[in-house]
Amino acid sequence: MIKKTKGSKTAVILASVLLVFTLAATACGGGSGGKGDTVTITHYTIDSPDRTFVEKLIPDFEAKHPNIKVKVTKAPYEQFDSKLQSSIAAHNAPDVTSHWGYGGFMEYYNKGMLADMTPLMDGFKASDYNIPEDVMNIYKVDGKTYGIPLNSYVTVMLYNKDLFDKAGLPYPPTDYEDKSWTFDKMVEYAKKMTVDSTDISKAQYGVDFGWGERDQRPQYFGADVYSEDTWTNGGKPSQVNLTKPEVVAAYEKIYGLIYDQKVSPTPAFSKSVSGQFGDPFLSGKIAMSVVGSWSLAASSNFNFKVGVAAVPQGPNPKVRSVLYVDPLFILKDSKHPKEAFEWIKYLLTTDVQEKSIELSGGNPPVNQKAADKYYSNFEGIDPEQIKQVFEGAYKYGFESYNHLISNYSQINELFINELAGVENGDKKASEALPGIQEKLQKLLERVNK
């Protein structure tokens, strides 16, 4: 019908080629633009006030280090990993970050994302920053340091004083050496404070046992899901023991709190009183909650009087608390590891760690000198009690599996999906575990080739 002349076609092609070239020409290189000898390092973190507060520390740092500029980039929690992976793929990697998303240290390490910091650490003494040596060791592989601890969270028990008063029960102790405070005693207390009712406005539960991630929970009962070599070979279990009698018994006990003892809320109840990620303890309908100590930061917002106590003594005498030590990493692709390390060291100084407590709204410093200030940061809770609970938790603590096991986000997802039926009461733990065992083995074979 229509005749297109050759000329117009060529013109169109020419025009489009030109357009692409102009775009490319006006583009400035995405490298680190530096005038003279200043370098810019990027600190990548989660977009939430308790992480982005480091922006407020930058002016002071830059004044002390005139040759270093710090830029903070951020992403929401759910997208943290995607953005990190994309920027690494595009050779646009940040210099300093942490495993703030779903993945953990071992995952980063095994993907070859982390720089070995050992050469940078000439003259670096953990004691100068009051970091306990064993905490430093968490992020060492074969004696080389891949991460420097920054914050350390532990597992604590929070309890609702109002509900304890109403039931006429004594408050649980803060001393880990008080061996009368046992798991069974906790269940006994919980029974007295439970109102198991289908009417959600009347229902009230004694305890919410959120101890570690799902695959770590049996550890509290002295049963190990993963073989011992996991902790020494880079987080790759040679064996998983989900069908071992003691592991099965541990899971039976954990979910028995909901369905046999009926002292713990069902997931449906928790969701309905607290939303998707919320903590049901905040609703005031849970008497005791075993959780990560980050829940303490919200203590001023509670509608009731809150206390903090020791995690009760379970069947495992050695491990009563999960430690979540958040490190800082320097990425392998960092163009300025030396300057990045200066920034990390600055963040660890006693003075900055103390300031960070206030600025972040209550992040627990790894620097033990700054820790004292942290203990007195919570209104209505006695600093001495918090100190005692933290020190006990360190003494009887084990690092969270998500930092130690490779490809943890996939493993965790498997546990969440496969245990959902057990958590909702559709099946028994003993029925679900053999299937999980098989799937987990297949997954590990696939990812740890």
**Site for other proteins, rule CB under 8 A:** 1-2, 23-24, 26-30, 46-52, 71, 73-79, 82-83, 85-86, 89-92, 200-201, 273, 275, 277-278, 282-285, 294-295, 297-298, 301-303, 361-363
Q: Helix, strand or coil for residue 325?
A: strand
Cβ nearer to other proteins, comparing 48 with 110: 48
CB 265 within 8 A of CB 286: yes
What distance in Å separates the CA atoms of residue 169 and residue 166, rounded to the nearest whole number?
A: 8
Closest CA to 409 of 401, 421, 397, 418: 401
Token readout for 111 is: 């993907």
> How would you classify residue 399: left for phi > 0, otherwise alpha for psi between -120 and 50, otherwise beta?
beta
Cβ nearer to other proteins, comparing 117 with 323: 323
Cβ nearer to other proteins, comparing 180 with 276: 276
Q: What letter would DSSP give residue 285?
A: -
What distance in Å separates the CA atoms of residue 290 and residue 307, rounded to the nearest whole number?
A: 12
Shortest distance, position 286 Cβ to other proteins, whole Å? 11
Instruction: Name the strand (E) or helix (H) holding 287.
Output: strand 286-292
Cβ nearer to other proteins, comparing 78 with 426: 78
What distance in Å separates the CA atoms of residue 323 and residue 254, rounded to the nearest whole number?
A: 20
Shortest distance, position 68 Cβ to other proteins, whole Å? 18
Neighbours of 160 (CB within 10 A): 24
Cβ nearer to other proteins, comparing 153 with 181: 153
Shortest distance, position 202 Cβ to other proteins, whole Å? 10
Shortest distance, position 306 Cβ to other proteins, whole Å? 13
Cβ nearer to other proteins, comparing 15 with 90: 90
CA 110-111-112 angle, 5° bins:
85
Q: Helix, strand or coil for residue 77?
A: helix
Cβ nearer to other proteins, comparing 70 with 225: 70
Of the chain, the end-to-end C-alpha distance in Å amounts to 61
Contacts of residue 23, Cβ cutoff 8 Å, sequence gap at least 6:
none
Shortest distance, position 411 Cβ to other proteins, whole Å? 19
What distance in Å separates the CA atoms of residue 24 and residue 17, rounded to the nearest whole number?
A: 11
CB 231 within 8 A of CB 404: yes
Shortest distance, position 389 Cβ to other proteins, whole Å? 17
Cβ nearer to other proteins, comparing 75 with 190: 75
What distance in Å separates the CA atoms of residue 348 and residue 209, rounded to the nearest whole number?
A: 33
What distance in Å separates the CA atoms of residue 418 and residue 137, rounded to the nearest whole number?
A: 33
Shortest distance, position 278 Cβ to other proteins, whole Å? 7
Shortest distance, position 191 Cβ to other proteins, whole Å? 22
Cβ nearer to other proteins, comparing 204 with 313: 204
Shortest distance, position 158 Cβ to other proteins, whole Å? 13
Shortest distance, position 239 Cβ to other proteins, whole Å? 31
What distance in Å separates the CA atoms of residue 283 and residue 303, rounded to the nearest whole number?
A: 8
- Residue listed under structure tokens 């280090």: 65
Cβ nearer to other proteins, comparing 48 with 376: 48
